[in-house]
Amino acid sequence: MPATLSRMTGQRIVSRVLLSVIALIVLAVGGAWVYATFINDAPDEFGTEDLEARLTESTLPQDSAVTETTESNEESIEDDDEVATTTSSDSAAGQWVIADGSEVGYRVAEVLFGIDTEGVGRTELVNGSITLQETSIIDAEFTVDVASMRSDDSRRDGQFRGRIMETDEFPTASFILSEPIDLGVTATEGASITTTLSGELTMHGVTNPVTVEISAQIENGRLGVVGSIPVVFTDYEIVDPSITAIKVEPQGLIEFVLIFSPA
């Protein structure tokens, strides 16, 4: 009898442990579903609508030199269309620098307890410039404060700044145009293009050649550029971001919307 009682007690304990484990799993999966469906506030990927909104809605004053040149062009049109066109194209030549409204971030696909979701981090701490000459971009570079990236989850941010990107050692990332690109159009008010740039991306202390498809347009005397760069983590000696119960895909995107004003 005591032996039978002992077996029954043991079975009850095992059953309770199993039920507790199952309950924890259900809670974890349910919590992941709730997070992915209702809590995760990952923004959509940057697109041309973001570019247009930032160029249109900005309250920054239009550069006075561009304004004066534009007004001068409008008066010149009445006298000489050819001269006006030349002056208009010259008005955007030279160096343009990063302005308010610029933002850079990362995007990675995650699987949280079997539930598909996304991790997105962004920062507005970016600086750089481009140089225009006639119909070409002859120089372009920008640098991002990687350590300032923030997502909707502080735990993700801690992993990102720590073991993944090691921002104490590699606090910034940068892109430098490797060769001039002919846009095929003059950089005048209302101009818009889609093209591909070649450059060098430095991240986590590693530099690799990349190609970047961008869309660009000029509105309100400012130049906007939007695009993304696919990144394979091992190409930059970045460890697998995955942790227990959270699988991260081995590649992601660097996405950006950059607003430039005449220097």
Closest CA to 118 of 41, 46, 226: 41
Tens-place pLDDT, residues 193-213: 999 999 999 999 999 999 999
pLDDT at residue 147 greater than cutoff 90? yes
Q: Give the model's confidence band at 30: pLDDT under 50 very low, under 70 low, under 90 confident, else very high.
A: very low
Q: Give the model's confidence band at 93: pLDDT under 50 very low, under 70 low, under 90 confident, else very high.
A: confident
| Residue 131 token pair | 């140089």
pLDDT at 29: 41
Q: Give the model's confidence band at 90: pLDDT under 50 very low, under 70 low, under 90 confident, else very high.
A: very low
Average pLDDT value for residue range 16-28: 46
Sign of CA dihedral 188, 190, 196, 198: positive
Pairing label, strands 94-98, 206-219: unpaired
Q: Which of 33-42, 63-72, 182-191 has the lowest mean pLDDT?
A: 63-72
Q: Give the model's confidence band at 16: pLDDT under 50 very low, under 70 low, under 90 confident, else very high.
A: low
Count CB neighbours of 11 within 10 A.
10
Distance CA 195, CA 214 (A): 6
pLDDT at residue 184 greater than cutoff 70? yes
Average pLDDT value for residue range 52-70: 57
